[in-house]
Amino acid sequence: MTPAARPLRIGNASGFYGDRFDAMREMLTGGELDVLTGDYLAELTMLILGRDRLKDPRAGYARTFLRQLEECLGLAHERGVRIVANAGGLNPAGLADAVRQLADRLGIPVRVAHVEGDDLHSRYPDSLAAHAYLGGFGIAACLREGADIVVTGRVTDAALVTGPAAAHFGWGSGDHDRLAGAVVAGHVLECGAQATGGNYAFFHEFRESGGDLRHPGFPLAELHEDGTCVITKHPGTGGLVDVGTVTAQLLYETAGARYAGPDVTARLDTVRLTQDGPDRVRVEGVRGEAPPPTLKVGVNRLGGFRNEVAFVLTGLDIEAKASLVREQMTDALSKSLPAEVRWDLVRTDRPDAPTEETASALLRLVVRDRDQETVGRSLSGAAVELALASYPGFHVLAPPGKGSPYGVFEDVYVPHGAVDHVAVLHDGRRITVPPAPDTAVFDDVPQPPAPDPQPPLPDPQPPGPTRHAPLGLVAGARSGDKGGNANVGVWVRTDEAYRWLAHELTVDRFRQLIPESGQLKVTRHPLPALRALNFVVEGVLGEGVAAQHRFDPQAKALGEWLRSRHLDIPETLL
């Protein structure tokens, strides 16, 4: 095997800003690696970093990355492991300089490069942050020129893998199938322990069989020149890697069969997963198509100010108590009524409860307005003044504060040529990264390059006895957010179960099981090769996670709610 054809072992040490601090050291000491990646950015993170930079122009990057490097830079250098991370956030050049200063102080000779061009704030001057999602070829240019550490701003999560793979194997922009395989590998790795048993629907089965989920290892991919890979983890680490954990992560925060990005559009309906031994899942068959001619841009704006108070209602007459305090608060707020007022009564109480907590329900009041005073002092004063003048047992979980700013997130799209994608090398040279020469043209910019293929449904199961039971007895699910939309991926583990699921879990049935989706647009995407259905619920998260529109603002548990709902399931599947 020539060095260029040698498989690339690429691991992940972070799935979000605030992930396990010791993961970088664990990955560097746990086994062989060629490249270690870290994903620190999310829609909410960009807003947080934007607010940081308002206070200090030198800020805007993930500071924990620097602290991790202080402990691990020597290890990475000794072991020849290159590090690629999007921890640069809003200020990749600033982070690159900080890494160089750290390396000089530690006496470790490393070459640090960074990628820039994603910042489009000048196009959206009313935003707090506006960043295009770049692809992996800027990262590849840095690595080809000898960089040991590459930091980026807003790139796609999968670019952290496509970049090193393109550099290692010599792929070009036209290698669609190979790039698509790397995109799938990158999507599986990007969320860290979610691929190794974290947040996994069937976690209880693994624990009941003696498995240890207390400290899951982080995932890695053995990526081959043809774009196939094996997803695994370091020997002896906790958690598990099986077809189920990889399927769950493949469905996370996706939509239809086409998974479009700046480098390539990966066809998720072509992915084949097979167990390749303990904690090893082979991923093959991935086909790629040309990327769309536009780049997604995430625009974060300050939406206004938000405040909330949770009234605790205990014992008898819960509905009447809620009605009284709601009338009182509505009357008190009428002098300076917030633009948005939302009430939610959460019935956590139960009759004849053995503890006061289990005898109590929560009545949440959330207010929003452009004016901080309207949601701050007005709400606080109104709630506190009721302490001795409302329902029996009056108290709140915590007094409302002065109101905190919230953000809104919007997706917009720009042509590739609207960004200056540049690799800035360790010696100061700047390499311009051209956009993909071939794109799939379509009329409506935010849409995929072509309608998603609609595979034929399997034959329905023959009629037989059923039992009214939770969907989760036969199906797993994972859900997440994309701006104001949520996706819920549902999968089963046998062909027979998919025959039933594909006919039973229609859009209408989904709306029945998840009533808040009833008036929203819901799209179903079948993925038979994964025995899965993916549902996209548009607008359920309002203006995105930073707006805190609903109880579960990122829809993290929407899939688990769906699994808990009851429907008629064939007894043969139970």
User: Residue 170 CB: number of other CB atoms within 10 A?
Assistant: 13
One domain, residues 351 and 278: no
102 is a domain residue:
yes
pLDDT of residue 302: 87
Burial classification of residue 388, based on how many CB atoms lie within 10 Å of its CB (0-12 exposed, 13-18 middle, 19 or more buried): exposed
Report the DSSP pairing between strands 35-38 and 8-12. parallel
The dihedral formed by the CA atoms of 29, 31, 35 and 38, expressed in degrees to the nearest 10 = -60
Report the DSSP pairing between strands 475-482 and 532-537. unpaired
One domain, residues 269 and 157: yes
User: Residue 144 CB: number of other CB atoms within 10 A?
Assistant: 17
Report the DSSP pairing between strands 272-275 and 281-284. antiparallel
Last residue of a domain, one of 402, 422, 447: 402
CB-CB contact of 266 with 184 (8 Å)? yes
Distance of alpha carbon 562 from alpha carbon 539, whole angstroms: 18
Which phi and psi (to 5°) does residue 272 adopt?
-115, 130
| Closest to 271 (Cα-Cα) out of 238, 253, 249, 296 | 249
CA atoms lying within 13 Å on the CB side of residue 551: 12
One domain, residues 111 and 224: yes
User: Residue 336 CB: number of other CB atoms within 10 A?
Assistant: 15
One domain, residues 478 and 510: yes
CB-CB contact of 478 with 251 (8 Å)? yes
453 is a domain residue:
no
Distance of alpha carbon 411 from alpha carbon 413, whole angstroms: 7
Distance of alpha carbon 134 from alpha carbon 185, whole angstroms: 17
Which residue in the block uniquely carries the two structure tokens 């947080």? 48
One domain, residues 489 and 565: yes
Distances (CA, A) of 94 to 13, 59, 60, 136: 22, 8, 8, 20
274 is a domain residue:
yes
Burial classification of residue 413, based on how many CB atoms lie within 10 Å of its CB (0-12 exposed, 13-18 middle, 19 or more buried): middle
One domain, residues 374 and 226: no
Which phi and psi (to 5°) does residue 233 adopt?
-150, 170
Strand order in the sheet with 287-289: 258-260, 265-267, 287-289
One domain, residues 32 and 95: yes
pLDDT of residue 412: 94
275 is a domain residue:
yes
CB-CB contact of 305 with 372 (8 Å)? yes
Q: What is the CATH number of the domain that holds 370?
A: 3.30.70.2690
Tens of pLDDT, residues 233-251: 999 999 999 999 999 999 9
CB-CB contact of 143 with 82 (8 Å)? yes
Distance of alpha carbon 395 from alpha carbon 389, whole angstroms: 11
Distance of alpha carbon 37 from alpha carbon 185, whole angstroms: 12
One domain, residues 324 and 227: no
18 is a domain residue:
yes
pTM of the model: 0.93
Distance of alpha carbon 292 from alpha carbon 61, whole angstroms: 29
The DSSP secondary structure of 265-291, one letter per residue, reads EEEGGG-EEEE-STT-EEEE--EEEPP
pLDDT of residue 2: 42
Which phi and psi (to 5°) does residue 139 adopt?
-60, -45
Distance of alpha carbon 521 from alpha carbon 208, whole angstroms: 39
Radius of gyration in angstroms for the set of CA atoms belonging to the chain, rounded to a whole number: 25
Tens of pLDDT, residues 319-357: 999 999 999 999 999 888 899 999 999 999 999 999 999
Helices (H), 292-406: 318-333, 372-375, 377-384
299 is a domain residue:
no
User: Which residues is 409 bridged to in the sheet?
Assistant: 300
Distance of alpha carbon 13 from alpha carbon 36, whole angstroms: 7
Distances (CA, A) of 295 to 155, 159, 419, 543: 11, 13, 9, 20
Distance of alpha carbon 73 from alpha carbon 88, whole angstroms: 17
One domain, residues 193 and 233: yes
CB-CB contact of 70 with 102 (8 Å)? yes
Residues 6+ apart with CB under 8 A from 12: 27, 36, 37, 38, 39, 160, 189, 190, 192, 218, 219, 220
Low-confidence ranges of the chain (pLDDT < 50): 1-2, 442-449
461 is a domain residue:
no
One domain, residues 81 and 230: yes
pLDDT of residue 441: 66
One domain, residues 177 and 94: yes
b/e sequence 180-212, b meaning 16+ C-beta within 10 Å: bbbbbbbbbbbbbbbbbbbbbbbbeebeeeeee
Count of structural domains within the chain: 3
Structural domain harbouring 315: 306-402
Please give the angle made by the CA atoms of 69, 70 and 76, to the nearest 5 degrees. Answer: 50
443 is a domain residue:
no
pLDDT of residue 54: 83
One domain, residues 152 and 212: yes
